Structure 1
Amino acid sequence: MGSSGASVGAAVLSPPMISNLNGGYILSGVLAVLLAVHWYTSQNQIVSLREEVARRLQTADINNSEIKGIAKNVQEASKEIQAKVSVLEAKQTEAQGQQIALEQLYQDLSKSRDEWALAEIEQVLATASQQMQLAGNVQGALIALQNSDARLAKSEKAQFIAVRRAIAKDVEMLKALPQLDMTGLVLRLDSVIAQVDNIPLWSDEKPPVVATPPKAPLRVLPRVTKDKNAKSEVAADGRENTFAAQLQDRWQSFSTEMWGELKQLVRIRNVESPDALLLSPTQAYFAKENLKLRLLNARLALLSRNEGAFRSDMIAAQDLISKYFDVRTKQAQTAQALLKQIQSNNLSIEMPALTESLNSVRNFKVKP
């Protein structure tokens, strides 16, 4: 305020100077005010900046602590995850090893199973081939081939196609063979064998019972009348006639009985072997058993397709029937007809071997 008064006094004294001074003072004052305002503002900004920096530094410290905690947690979690990953990798490696081992085991088992199946099929086909060669069992061989093909079809493996093709060829070959009803022939032979005991022998025949004709009634003598004198001659003639008639009746009855007895004692038959009429019960039993044995031998020869032995036994059986059995009976005629029908069949059919199928199976087993 003192400076202001001096300025005013000086201005009064010198107006130009006073105006210059006033302008300078005002400018200075304005500058001072501006400087003061700027300084104040700057101080406030600096304080605010410091506070902001301090606050941010504090926040940064807090965040840094949190980040360090998070980083520590992340590091620990990373270590745990890494440990778990290591465990998982170990388990994965172990699982891969087990998977490889299982695949190898499955391949070995599959290979072994195929080898077992082929070995069984080979054995079945070899047995069927032997049975067909020895006994002519074509139906059994067909069943063996079809079962083997069905078993290979279940595996659905392409490597078995060649084996199945060979089996199909053998099946067609067996189906083309002439058919022989072996079962029917055997059943007919069994029927004849079962009826042997019911076929009568020549020695079993008994003479037929001839009915004795009724005796003629004796003639009755006429009654004698009381008038003996008047009819004596008539009575004498009647007695003579009655006695002659009775004698004739008795002779006729006696001759009829004698003729019947003679017809029963003497009979004429045409028999090939006279010994057949004189068989004892024991010999009759053995005659029937011998026929059964011949037929059983023929049955075995039929099953084994031994045509020579079969025909020899059949001829011998028919000879036995003709020699010892009553061929006039229906039982003997039926047996002879059946035997002739059985004997007319041709057994000389050449049986093939299952070479195609067996070679295919064996060649497949040899492959690595």
Structure 2
Amino acid sequence: MNDLPTLPDPVAPTGTAYGAAAESPSAPLKSPPEPRLLDTLQQPRILLGGVVVLAVLLAAQTWSTHNKMGKLRQEMALRLQKGDSVNAETGTMARAVQETSRELQIKVGLLESKQLEAQSQQLALEQLYQDLSKNRDEWALTEIEQVLSTASQQLQLAGNVPGALIALQNADRSLSRSDKPQFITIRRAIAKDTEKLKALPSVDSVGVALRLDNVIAQIDHLPMLSDEKPTLPAAPEKKVKLKPLLDKNGKPVPVVEPSEPSPWLLALQNTWTGWSTEMWTDVRQLIRVRSVETPDALMLSPTQAYFLRENLKLRLLNARMALLSRNETAFRADLIAAQEALVKYFDTRAKNTQTVQALLRQVQTSNLAIEMPTLSDSLNAVRNYKAKQ
């Protein structure tokens, strides 16, 4: 592209026609063309064309390069923007990661402190377990001794046989868990005391106490001699339907029924019967005759009657407490006093009073004079074993 056309040499070579004509003198002389001038005129044009072409090419190259540079700059700007946004996101994520790592470090510190605390507690528990395992038999025997001592006291004071049996069974169960041959003597003593308690006659203390409670609840409703009200008239007797008469052959004998009276006569008869019955009932309520062995019972005032009922309740409550404490003497004395008060001040003809007296007689048949055994064999076996340790 940059190569320019070469100009022809002005000197013609020898051996051409032009040279031959010059050398031969016989040829006619003609004016030859001026090639040097033409070549000189054509050279600037060719140079100008080449320059124009070169300028066009340079312009095209410059425009293409400018476009490429512009696109490159735009692309670089976009990439720089994307890089800035990525850098900003990266910085945000880095800060979040730093905060998260800081929180994790705090949590790890807390976990480490709790782990150290748990380890210290575990060591303390292991030490406590070792101490307890060393003295486990001693603790078990101490607990059994305390339970048996309490059961023995309740057995002597309140006659609580079921409670003592439960205490002995629990003690034997506790000793059976350890399964040591050294406890055979203690278990043998516990079995002996258990057989003694099972051989005792059973006393229904709960049933007797419930009967006493029932009597106490009925005291306020019992009629007294001082406040006795007239009895209501008895209910009229029901007509009995007669069986038909039979003859020798077994056939019913016809009965001649009397003729029915007139309606007005029946109404008059019913009126007279009702009026006479009511009048007789009122007369019976006005006058009553009865025999009382203790005249003082009829002179009680309402206040004295109230305190009499309360004193009777207290007597029965004392009998209930004597029942629970196995006090035979006090139990009998209170029941006898309650029976005497019922006979002296209350109407024994009333059904309620008779029911209460029957309940008290049932309670009096209970036998509380039972000698309770002690749990000395079991307690002595436990104490002797502890003394040997």
Specify which structure has the higher proportion of helix.
Answer: 1
Match of 2:210 among 182, 187, 193: 187
C-alpha change, 1:335 and 1:209, in structure 2 (3 Å) is closer
Structure 2 residue identity aligned to 1:204: D
2:374 is the counterpart of 1:353: yes
2:295 is the counterpart of 1:274: yes
2:359 is the counterpart of 1:335: no
Instruction: Measure the CA separation in 2 of the matches of 1:209 and 1:106.
Output: 81
1:305 maps to 326
2:383 is the counterpart of 1:362: yes
The Cα shift of 1:347 comes to: 0.9
TM-score of the pair, normalised by structure 1? 0.56
> 1:32-87: per-residue Cα shift (whole Å, max 9, x none)?
xxxxxxxxxxxxxxxxxxxxxxxxxxxxxxxxxxxxxxxxxxxxxxxxxxxxxxxx
Match of 1:197 among 210, 220, 226: 220
1:326 maps to 347
Tell me how many residue pairs correspond in the alignment: 224
Structure 1 residue identity aligned to 2:299: L
1:163 maps to 186
C-alpha change, 1:209 and 1:327, in structure 2 (3 Å) is closer
Instruction: Measure the CA separation in 2 of the matches of 1:291 and 1:195.
Output: 11
1:91 maps to none
Match of 2:160 among 128, 131, 137: 137
C-alpha change, 1:111 and 1:158, in structure 2 (3 Å) is farther
Instruction: Measure the CA separation in 2 of the matches of 1:154 and 1:312.
Output: 49
1:295 maps to 316
Structure 1 residue identity aligned to 2:310: E
C-alpha change, 1:354 and 1:111, in structure 2 (3 Å) is farther
Instruction: Measure the CA separation in 1 of the matches of 2:159 and 2:288.
Output: 51
Instruction: Measure the CA separation in 1 of the matches of 2:229 and 2:382.
Output: 69
1:174 maps to 197
The Cα shift of 1:345 comes to: 1.4
Please give the root-mean-square deviation of Cα atoms over the aligned residues, in Å.
Answer: 2.8
Structure 2 residue identity aligned to 1:321: L
Instruction: Measure the CA separation in 1 of the matches of 2:146 and 2:304.
Output: 50
TM-score of the pair, normalised by structure 2? 0.53
> 1:172-206: per-residue Cα shift (whole Å, max 9, x none)?
11001111111111111111111111212122322
User: Percent identity over the alignment?
Assistant: 69
> 1:233-289: per-residue Cα shift (whole Å, max 9, x none)?
xxxxxxxxxxxxxxxxxxxx9xx97x8776544322222322222322222211111
2:163 is the counterpart of 1:151: no
The Cα shift of 1:207 comes to: 2.4
Q: Bigger CA drift: 185-194 or 103-112?
A: 103-112
C-alpha change, 1:156 and 1:267, in structure 2 (3 Å) is same
- 1:199-238 to 2 correspondence within 5 Å? 199-208=222-231
1:283 maps to 304
1:114 maps to 137
The Cα shift of 1:349 comes to: 0.6
C-alpha change, 1:265 and 1:356, in structure 2 (3 Å) is same
- 1:7-156 to 2 correspondence within 5 Å? 109-156=132-179
C-alpha change, 1:260 and 1:341, in structure 2 (3 Å) is closer
2:354 is the counterpart of 1:317: no
Instruction: Measure the CA separation in 2 of the matches of 1:181 and 1:161.
Output: 34
Instruction: Measure the CA separation in 2 of the matches of 1:150 and 1:280.
Output: 63
Instruction: Measure the CA separation in 1 of the matches of 2:372 and 2:199.
Output: 11
2:270 maps to none
Instruction: Measure the CA separation in 2 of the matches of 1:160 and 1:201.
Output: 65
Structure 1 residue identity aligned to 2:365: S
The Cα shift of 1:105 comes to: 8.2
Instruction: Measure the CA separation in 2 of the matches of 1:339 and 1:111.
Output: 58
The Cα shift of 1:109 comes to: 2.7
C-alpha change, 1:210 and 1:152, in structure 2 (3 Å) is closer
Gaps of 5+ in 2: 1-124, 235-274
Instruction: Measure the CA separation in 1 of the matches of 2:322 and 2:144.
Output: 29
Instruction: Measure the CA separation in 2 of the matches of 1:323 and 1:307.
Output: 25
